[in-house]
């Protein structure tokens, strides 16, 4: 197989075969991007499931064997585990190989991996901005990344050819690649992804506390807005715990802004300021229209995205 900027690598190894890792495995197979696809997962259940689904060519139970001949290593584990995996594989990586990840937070990942990835290995962190509330190897699907953004956050001085090659890889997977620095990524994602998840967890948590008062009415009447929040609030607890612990500053900064704006809304309701409410709702409706026009969303309720969508 040619390895000339086609997005192809002789051996690709995926560490962590959950929703994102297994979607990547399927997409790599679909686009024939590797001669050999190797998978490792520390959880025996996920490992067995991946084997049963035939998601790779080789299922490795020893992480050092999994990475030692790999040209591209993709870490698809929760953000809090990326540094640990980095320290397990650092000394086994092949000179000239590329190590990337798919974590939802980038600055802390870069910092953690810079400690263990040796200088002869290209470290290029990444984040596909695509996902669902589901987890595990059976939840993945090849089309997950189609038409979605993938943000790469190479450190200063990263090898341009290696970055270009990884860009070609994500393009062949179906995504559009954007390059930015890790801190900027974390600030942007704090408002577009992390705070929205926190709000969903919070509103569903509040409603569940109220449920003891209202009996089963919360579930019974959850047809509309609340139901959309429950999809997001069903997202993986480990993943999201790690996101908030690792993007603390940006999330707290955005939450501060959010709280101020919420207070202004509270005041508008209290004083009957209909114009203030109307103006905001009109502005936010425009944003939704712009997202749909940009082709990033369907106009239907979008909960429960699966491989059938």
Ligand X SMILES: O=C(O)C(=O)C[C@]1(C(=O)O)C=C[C@@H](O)C=C1
Ligand Y SMILES: NC(=O)c1ccc[n+]([C@@H]2O[C@H](COP(=O)([O-])OP(=O)(O)OC[C@H]3O[C@@H](n4cnc5c(N)ncnc54)[C@H](O)[C@@H]3O)[C@@H](O)[C@H]2O)c1
Interface region with ligand X, contact rule CB under 6 A, candidates 63-71, 126-134, 203-211, 269-277: 126-134
Rule CB under 6 A: is residue 83 a binding residue for ligand Y?
no
Binding mask of the shown chain, residues 34 to 73, with x at each position contacting ligand Y by CB under 6 A = -------xxx--x---------------------------
Report if residue 87 touches ligand X, rule: CB under 6 A. Answer: no
The span of 1-9, 17-25, 271-279, 294-302 binding ligand Y (CB under 6 A) equals 17-25
Contacts of 175 (CB under 8 A, 6+ apart): 128, 130, 145, 146, 147, 148, 149, 150
* Minimum gap (Å) between residue 59 Cβ and ligand Y: 13
CB of 175 to ligand X, least distance (A): 12
Taking the alpha carbons at both ends of the chain, their separation in whole angstroms is 32
Burial state string for 27-61 with b = 16 or more CB within 10 A and e = fewer than 16: bbbebebbebbbbbbeeeebbebbeeeebbeebbe
Site for ligand Y in 166-225 (CB under 6 A): none
Rule CB under 6 A: is residue 151 a binding residue for ligand Y? no
Instruction: Give which of ligand Y, ligand X, none residue 193 binds (C-beta under 5 to 8 Å, depending on kind).
Output: ligand X
Q: In the set 103, 125, 126, 154, which binds ligand Y (CB under 6 A)?
A: 103
11: left (phi over 0), alpha (psi -120 to 50) or beta: beta
Q: Is 125 in the site for ligand Y (CB under 6 A)?
A: no
Q: In what order do the strands lie in the sheet with 58-59?
A: 58-59, 34-40, 9-15, 72-75, 98-101, 122-123
């Amino acid at each position: 197989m040619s390895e000339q900027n086609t997005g192809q690598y002789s051996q690709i190894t995926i560490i962590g075969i959950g929703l994102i890792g297994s979607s990547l495995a399927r997409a790599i197979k679909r686009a024939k991007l590797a001669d050999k696809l190797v998978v490792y997962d520390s959880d025996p259940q996920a490992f067995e499931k991946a084997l049963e689904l035939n998601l790779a060519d080789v299922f490795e139970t020893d992480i050092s064997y999994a990475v030692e001949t790999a040209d591209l290593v993709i870490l698809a584990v929760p953000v809090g585990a990326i540094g640990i995996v980095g320290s397990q594989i650092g000394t086994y990586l092949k000179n000239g190989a590329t190590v990337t990840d798919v974590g939802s937070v980038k600055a802390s990942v870069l910092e953690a991996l810079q400690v263990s990835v040796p200088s002869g290995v290209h470290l290029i962190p990444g984040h596909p901005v695509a996902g669902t509330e589901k987890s595990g190897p059976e939840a993945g699907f090849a089309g997950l990344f189609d038409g979605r953004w993938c943000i790469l956050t190479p450190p200063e001085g990263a090898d341009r050819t290696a970055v270009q090659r990884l860009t070609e890889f994500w393009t062949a997977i179906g995504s559009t690649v954007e390059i930015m620095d890790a801190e900027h990524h974390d600030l942007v994602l704090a408002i577009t992804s992390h705070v929205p998840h926190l709000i969903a967890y919070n509103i569903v948590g509040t409603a569940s506390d109220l449920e003891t008062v209202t009996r089963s009415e919360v579930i019974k009447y959850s047809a509309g807005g609340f139901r959309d929040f429950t999809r997001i609030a069903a997202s993986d607890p480990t993943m999201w715990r790690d996101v908030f612990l690792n993007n603390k500053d940006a999330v707290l900064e955005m939450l501060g802004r959010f709280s101020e704006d919420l207070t202004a809304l509270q005041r508008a309701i209290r004083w009957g300021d209909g114009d203030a409410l109307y103006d905001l709702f009109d502005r936010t409706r425009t944003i939704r229209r712009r997202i749909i026009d940009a082709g990033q969303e369907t106009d239907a309720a979008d909960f429960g995205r699966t491989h059938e969508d």
